[in-house]
Structure 1
Amino acid sequence: MDNQTQAAILQVYAAWAGVLVTLFGFLVITFQLRVSAKASRTQNASTFMLGEHKERLLNDASEALGQLFQFGSRKQMPMETARKIMADEPTARKLSAVLNYYENVAAGVNCGVHDEQYVRLAGSRSFRIRFWENANYIAAVRESNRNPNLWIELERLCEKWDRWSNASPHFFENGQVVVGVPFEELRVPSEQERWKPRLKPRRSNSWLLSRQNRLGRSETAVLASPDSSGQLQSATQSAALHKRKTQSSDSPS
């Protein structure tokens, strides 16, 4: 083997080595970026979850509500009490501020700003029971403002986590929050459900909603979640039926 051949082989080896080094560097940078993004989302979530802002809002709302309603009492606010609170503007403002806090965190989770795994482990039950406790107040405010999208991000996140939960009582049934049922009578997971594998929860379907609906500017919203309505399922079935008809017509007789 002459010197020119050896030099050509070495050049090929050097070129491949350069490609491998570049690829390895790209993988390292990608991994670092993913780790950094994960840490950033976790930091954002912990700032919201562990800050003093949440406790201050809860304390202010508890003082304003007085004997009307108590947070953490495992009791659902009656509709009559909800309408009394709405009639008292200062009290309603403080209660709405608490729900707005949970709404902001839920919107951050649904949009990928906050780390969902961290928020779910830290407050899944707290989020769901808070929405269940104030379900009648939320319904009354939505009706009064003619806006069904108020606190919709919180509702969507709580419904998803409730559907995935296999330990605590279920606060949602068939995609709707349970109303008028005492805490002690809420459906609890069966033994078979308790021991089912803990799969990763499904991603939020908020991207299926228009930006106008997600911002709450529309008076009507179509929730495109698999369990909320049959529209998504019927559309899929129609597409499958059309595909079968097309295949049968194209096949030779």
Structure 2
Amino acid sequence: MLELKGLQKSFRSNGTVREVLRDINLNVMDGEFVSIIGPSGSGKTTLFQLIGGLQQIDAGEIWLDGVNISGQKGHIAYMPQQASLLPWYSVKQNIALALQISHVPKSTALKQAEQWLQQVGLAEYANEYPHKLSGGMSQRVSFLRALLSPQKLMLLDEPFGALDALTRLHMQRWLLSIWEQHRRSVLLVTHSIEEALLLSDRIIVFAANPATVIDEIKVPFARPREGELWSDSTFNELKQRIYEQLDA
């Protein structure tokens, strides 16, 4: 699916060079959920910009389904930290837009959007505009828009970071339930160790200044994930392992 080979990225400003990413190697397999966790400023968002073709890499290659897509746009679905819904479109129209981009006729796209909103409990908001939605509702709509995009790989850039703790937990469980049904390939950036352990098949741990891969953890818990996971001894051992790496 996705393979990053020796990615390097530096930024130059006022005669100084700041190395952001150094020799990043990682992959995401078909239907796999992989999380990247690291300190603030460790280059995680920059990495997403490189994968999406919004920044040019200094060295290395980005491969998707056996094709070198380095520097190219349009190959991934993206869910940002903020929902970024079009305010002049209704909720239904925002979701339908993802289908229309993949050449689904408008009438069909709107009908499918209504069906999806029914599935996720937001049918009553179909004709409302984004300003009427709570933060959690907006993120549900944003996730559906990414899920319905034609690209097979989804990049989620800390999508729940702005939500309160309880809403965030509800959104994590909601995302898991939707993802279990469709198993799209996902690469998630998060600052939450618990979130990474709850959602992921594998976790990539970054060090900062510059970002390098310092650990790769295969999450051992069976799917579907249960609520009791929080009290599991292995869960807490892995949580402590990651915390110590980030705190080093």
Q: Is TM-score (shorter-chain normalized) higher than 0.5?
A: no
Bigger share in helix? 1
Q: Which structure is richer in relative contact order (CA contacts within 8 A, separation 6 or more)?
A: 2
Q: Which structure has the larger Rg?
A: 1
